[in-house]
Amino acid sequence: MIQLSVLLGLLAMGLGCTTPTLEDQRSLTKEHPGADAMKGSGPPQRVVLITVAGLESSDFLDAFGHVIESDDAVRMPNLARLGREGAIGIEALPPSPSSVYASHATLATGLLPKRHGIIADKTLDREGTKVLPFWDSRLLKGTPLWEAAIARGVVALGWPTTVGARIGLVVPDGSPSDPKLSWLEFISTRTSPKLLRELKAIAAPAFEGEDRDPISWPTPEEKDAAFVDLACRIAASERDPGLWMIRLNQTATLQRSAGFGSAEVDAALARVDNEIGRLMDCLADTGNLADTAIFVTGDVAYRSVHTQIDPNVILVKKRLIGRDPRSAGGVRSWLALVRSNGRSAYVYARDANNALEARKWLDQEAEKTGAFDVVPASDLAASGGDPQAWFGLAAHPGFAFGGGLTGPVLRPSAIRAAAGAFPFRDPETSAVGFVAWGRGVRPQVRVPNLNLSDVAPTIATLLGLRLDPDLDGEAMIGILRAAVPVKPLPGPKRLDLGTDGDVDRALRELGGGHEIGEDE
């Protein structure tokens, strides 16, 4: 018994020596370079808004949905630390449909698609026989953050719908449809000259000592790294933009090719997290981090797909779509047409009778296959979706819509995951993650749910920017420690691309696109 007591006493002494007290813990904890950002009073000098393709709160929270301790394993430790110290949005709902371009337009304006006009990732031309991307900023209605912040300086890297936007430092979105054209060549007339020179310098080492085709640069991973390199160079320069908008997108390609929840996507999220950490280090090295607020949000939520639905096959058989005999997948004419968003679709028609007939056949196919539901126009209108659609389609779990005109209605999917759902129908599987951190942000705030339309008015409140009246979103006052009085909006709306609002002319000048009936 005496020996056991001695042993327990020695064990207790040992534990006492190895377990630090609270005071010891304070001395052992090293504050990171941005610790002052959460302590400082007043508004930030700059706001950095970063979108991460497919980001969800589970990527930076633990398995129970809680913030992690500093030594817990998590996919994105840098973002997890920001969330632990700042504000977290557990479920942030994109607009309907949850497409990349619609989400980014909502993030930039605080408006829903029916008001900002970016109703999906792509749109139809006037004849309705070609699909065109929403690259041109003239297609965006309302006042985006970059116009409201023009007097403070803006940098936008890869942000959708910024071609021709009045932004001082911009690398717009988009990619060449010509396989012989490199990305650098494609953006050369659309990018700020200073940033184009910097991008060429960043790309140069990739071609040293190897026979690499210029068309192969950048990969999605290299593009994300190049955008952070650009941001670091801007931070080290004399330019000090008040608003930074950066899109990190390498996870999107892997979601489609490898699938939701795959090891490849996890690895990509870890790389994106490293890029976020690298950007923070650059801001810290230049003395800018302490008066910076950082907002990081997902754009869309991906879910697993095994089967593709081609509802236009039904409309071809019922003579509502006339195929182009010169093309294997082209459309010559149509009376009703399904336009895919991925996990949802819009149905367009020339008139009410054609819409009713299309609804009848698609209702029958939905009941027959059990692969999708028909969504009434009233639901679309209430969600702020495309007002030109007569009704919608919502895929069941595991299914996604395609644009095929021939073959079976159901076939194995070429992609492993898809976005584009209607969040109002299934908010749980449509929500993305959100983190706000830094100067002007309250520490350790948890927001159970929010809308992506709330982000722009929150940033505007923090920087004192004037957006449109009567926004669809609301400023999240509860996560802010500071707000700035609104100042008048200076300057014209667009740069070098006219202000006449002629959407069709903008689309014609934009070029690109592909034929209806081709899978995207």
What's the gap between Cα 402 and its chain centre?
21
Output the pLDDT for position 504.
54
Q: What is the pLDDT of residue 517?
A: 62
* Tokens standing for residue 514: 């592909």
Q: What is the pLDDT of residues 207-229, one digit of tens each?
A: 887 788 889 999 999 999 999 99
Cβ atoms of residues 362 and 395 within 8 Å: no
pTM, whole model, 2 decimals? 0.88
CA 245 → CA 36, 144, 158, 248, 292, distances in Å? 23, 12, 8, 10, 13
CATH of domain 305-418: 3.30.1360
Contact 280, 373 (CB under 8 A): no
Q: Which residues of the chain have pLDDT under 70?
A: 1-35, 70-71, 125-130, 327-329, 487-520
Determine the Cα–Cα distance for residues 498 and 247; give it in Å rounded to an integer: 26
Position of tokens 């009941």?
367
Every domain of the chain and the residues it spans: 35-302+427-515, 305-418
* pLDDT tens digits, 55-76: 999 999 987 788 887 667 788 9
CA distance 197 to 190: 13
Question: Do the two domains 35-302+427-515 and 305-418 of this chain adopt the same fold?
Answer: no
Instruction: Give the 3-state secondary structure of residue 510.
Output: helix
The fold adopted by the segment(s) 35-302+427-515 is Alkaline Phosphatase, subunit A (3.40.720)
Quick one: pLDDT at residue 209? 77
Residue 209 backbone phi and psi in degrees, to 5: 75, 15
